[in-house]
Amino acid sequence: MYDVLKVRRDFPILEREVNGRPLVYLDNAATSQKPLQVIRTLSRYYERHNANIHRGVHRLAEEATGLYEEARGKVARFIGAPDPRGLVFTRGTTESINLVAHAWGRKNLREGDEVVLTEAEHHSNLVPWQLAARDTGARLRFIPVLDDGTLDMEAAERLIGPRTRLVGCVHASNVLGTVNPVERLAELAHEAGALMLVDGAQSAPHLPVDVTSLGCDFFAASGHKMLGPTGVGFLWARPELLEEMEPFLGGGEMIREVRLERSTWNEIPYKFEAGTMNIAQAIGLGAAVDYLGSLGMESVREHERRLGAYAYRRLAGVEGITLYGPAENRTGVVAFNLPEVHPHDLSQLLDQEGVAIRSGHHCCQPLMRRLGVVATARASLYLYNTEEEVEALVEAIARAREFFEAPA
């Protein structure tokens, strides 16, 4: 049975106070907290194994290389990737998608081609394709978001067609909490002869992920959202696609041979890992997926499903509140607004109560326009949150409403 109190003991930051009150950390869609297992892995690496990787033949270099490549294998297995050669370490989801847009997009997109995205995309899966379309003459098209926060799949079937070269979709929305049917989108993409890219930044930490079952060709995620360190993430791609793609960055480990006139490239995945990588962070990410694996992603998903439903139900009972996104088939992300209260003001008042939430457009300005708002407040739950913390959020919101409604 999932024991959330036992899990919480692995996260030392949850013991601290903020403004004299116990910390209630509900900003997990922005970044997750780190368990002792990850913190100690980072410390142990720097205390005992720190060296640059791959080309050194001394003991420390060999140890560091072994730990780094072991982490690659762990992450690949975590997402069900059949071949670790398809797993490229990056700085995060943003860099991963930029890599695809640059290395695949600029080589394969032509004038008149289409890239189909959704209205719910994070800027990281929109701006890189805007740049690629500008440089190649390709056109961007968008699957609408319905009023309930789900995708208009009938429109998707109309939009994905002979001109489509790639479909890109956020697996789980960082605003709406919607878990999108990326498997069906992958089917539609492949029927049209197109590729499928999945932004997994909000799914890999929270759902069991198997890239083979999803049917995607590219999958991107960030380590810091899934208990790992900042500064590291990954791109998984079918190895044959990586083989065909040109390098994204030049220099360092990505070369095979360099002459004054030309260079040749290393084998995959090293062709896309130029310069000194974030070695310690990648090893820390390996420890994070070990930790997630020890809990079991089905158990994590079930805990968040129950807690998210509880939070949605409790927040729905707050007078005047507007909730965004579907009531079911969602992650633990709940975006909301109170009438006549700016989300930034609400977030600041909640912080005085020790409750940490996010406010703003959440790097989804087109989706904000679709919702008819400039910004929202957002509480996002994870594997260490509890019903008591949800109650603390609801009570803090109630006190904030009293503050804003008090006569001047």
Supply the residues annotated as catalytic.
Answer: 363
Q: Residue-wise over 345-359: b if at least 16 C-beta within 10 A, else e? A: ebbebbeebbbbbbb
| Residue 220: closest CA among 362, 87, 333 | 87
CA torsion sign, 53 to 59 to 62 to 64? negative
SS3 content of the chain, % helix, strand, coil (to 5): 45, 20, 35
Q: Any idea which residue has 């060999």 for tokens?
A: 62
Backbone angles phi, psi at 221, to 5 degrees: -155, 165
CA separation, residue 385 to residues 226, 287, 389 (Å): 14, 21, 7
DSSP 277: -
3-state secondary structure of 261: coil
Alpha-carbon torsion angle 343, 346, 347, 351, nearest 10: 180
3-state secondary structure of 49: helix
Q: Residue-wise over 84-106: b if at least 16 C-beta within 10 A, else e? A: bbbbbbbbbbbbbbbbbbbbbbe
